[in-house]
Chains A and B, each alone.
Chain A
Amino acid sequence: MDTKRLTRLALLTAAALILFTVEAQLPPPVPIPGVKLGLANIVTVYVLFRYGARDALLVLLTRVLLGGMFAGSAVTLLFSLGGGLLCWLVTLPLRKLLTEKQLWVCGVLGAMAHDLGQMAVCVAVYGTAAVLVYLPALLLAGMATGLFTGLAAQGLLMKARGGF
């Protein structure tokens, strides 16, 4: 890995980590467990489209691990990991399916995949299917927040075409 790429990935990871940590301090928008804005996803989507799947995975994993240590518990780290990995897997083929102006779709589908992965980990960890009641509500909220973060990533990609 050359120095330029290493520095760039470190910078982007730091940016994602800041978004993640700041968001963890804000009260959740609605009292439905698991609903959050997912601002750090802006960085994941941006890196995926600009630098490719491998770099996106590196930034994602580093951010999830450090984010869990800074602003979470062991349980929430597992949720982020399950959600993040499924999100990455689902958005992987989208890179070839979407044009630059359709990047927001990646945000929406990625957020929904994140919810599914998080819910799977949740059922496994809690050992109860009672939480599945929240799945439709989570997916719906994921569509809204994913649209927001997807549009943000799209704007970033268009603006930052020159550098970074």
Chain B
Amino acid sequence: MLKTRTWIILLAAAAILLAAATCYTLSARRESAVAQVVLDGVVLREIDLSRVAEAYSFTVETPDGGRNVVSVEPGRIRVSDADCPDQTCVRQGWLSDQASPIVCAPHGLVISLKGAADADAATR
């Protein structure tokens, strides 16, 4: 049996480490401007955000009837409307250079910027 104080110290140390890791990962940036729209592991579209001249939007429909409206502007992309229950994807806002992707968990939709490693793999 560990003492309660030992548990508190162990868990507090873990919390501090995780807080540092969270700050690091959520502020991480990506060089690439190529956004990937992935539904259930299948790449639907690849959009080079630096070459978008005019704003446009398109709708992604999931096999079981879900719907996400994706808006694209020069240099950035977001989910502007969705019929998922939690609306997290809409509230995440614009994705322009963040390493953290937009995720609509109920619909299995992920919009992420391709990493440098991915870009290398594509050109090879």
Contact = CB atoms under 8 A, between A and B. Distances in A.
A34 B2 contact: no
Given A31-B88, A102-B7, A133-B100, A126 B110 contact: yes
Nearest to B18: A140
Contacts of A32: 88
A98 B42 CA distance: 44
Interface string B108-123: 1010100100000000
Contacts of A33: 88-89, 92, 103-105
A133 B1 contact: no
B contact residues, range: 35 or more
A34 B7 contact: no
**B contacts with A: majority SS:** mixed
B11 A108 contact: yes
B105 A24 contact: no
A28 B84 CA distance: 12
B40 interface: yes
A72 interface: yes
Contacts of B105: 33-34, 75-76, 79, 122
Given A28-B86, A73-B66, A126-B38, A136 B18 contact: yes
Contacts of A135: 25
Given A28-B86, A79-B105, A131 B110 contact: yes
B14 interface: yes
Given A102-B4, A125-B40, A73 B107 contact: yes
A163 to B, nearest CB: 28
B94 to A, nearest CB: 12
Nearest to A78: B108
A76 B93 CA distance: 22
A75 B110 contact: no
B71 interface: no
Interface string A129-154: 01101111101100100000000000
Contacts of B112: 128, 130-131
Given A32-B88, A125-B108, A97 B18 contact: no
**Nearest 5 Cβ contacts at the A-B interface:** A127-B41, A136-B21, A33-B103, A31-B91, A130-B112
6 contacts: A24-B85, A79-B105, A101-B4, A125-B41, A133-B25, A133-B26
Interface of B: 1-2, 4, 7, 11, 14-15, 18-19, 21-22, 24-26, 28, 36, 38, 40-42, 64, 66, 85-89, 91-93, 99-101, 103-108, 110, 112, 115
